[in-house]
Amino acid sequence: MNVSQDAIADLVRVHQAGLRSYLRWLGAASDVADDLVQDTFVAALTRPPVERDAAATAAWLRTVARHLLLRQLRTAGRRGRAVEFDEAAAAWERHLGGSDDGEAFRAALRACLTGLSPRQGEALRLRYGEGMSVAAVGGHMGIGAGGAETLLRRLRAVLRACIERRVAR
């Protein structure tokens, strides 16, 4: 199938931000999300989806991106997060449905972050803002790597629940 440059530009323009937000919602680091968005569009151009409306195309692109992320995690030996990704993907679909920009989730996240303790905020900043490894976060905070992993896992669960409550309103 020969796809015009304008059609490619439109596809990227319409879906890029939402796809990146979706991957970040699933827990992909910023640089990983950027790479996966690019890989998703390459897959879309290699095996274009059937002609469909914007919402169906967005859902198809999210599915491709989620599979690429899961494949990357399997390759890296981090299989345990698959259930967490499935839950996050289901929450996205439940609350946003066909909407793909993710702004509702970002606004809810900003509001939820204000309710965290300084220690919780510091852990998130170090891990996701600074890109420190879990072990380095633990060392910086004076706890072991296992304690840091538990803290971050609980924080993700708390934030996910808070975001879902706010988006459901």
User: Same domain for 119 and 55?
Assistant: no
Q: Is the pTM of this model over 0.85?
A: no
Is it the case that residue 16 has pLDDT exceeding 90?
no
Instruction: Give mean pLDDT, residues 61-82.
Output: 75
User: Same domain for 63 and 16?
Assistant: yes
Q: Tell me how far apart the alpha carbons of residues 45 and 141 are, in angstroms, rounded to a whole number.
A: 45
User: Same domain for 77 and 130?
Assistant: no
Q: For residue 3, what pLDDT is reported?
A: 60
Annotate 115-132 with DSSP letters as a single string: TS-HHHHHHHIIIIIS--
Question: Are 115 and 107 contacting, i.e. CB atoms less than 8 angstroms apart?
Answer: no
Q: For residue 85, what pLDDT is reported?
A: 56
Least confident of 12-21, 50-59, 95-104, 148-157: 95-104
User: Same domain for 8 and 70?
Assistant: yes
> What CATH number does residue 132 fall under?
1.10.10.10
User: Same domain for 63 and 4?
Assistant: yes
What value does the mean pLDDT of the chain take? 79
Is it the case that residue 1 has pLDDT exceeding 60?
no
Q: For residue 159, what pLDDT is reported?
A: 86
User: Same domain for 116 and 73?
Assistant: no
Q: Tell me how far apart the alpha carbons of residues 163 and 167 are, in angstroms, rounded to a whole number.
A: 6
Instruction: Give mean pLDDT, residues 147-153.
Output: 90
The domain tally of the chain equals 2
The answer for 168, left when phi > 0, alpha when psi is -120 to 50, beta otherwise, is alpha
Domain extent for 73: 1-85
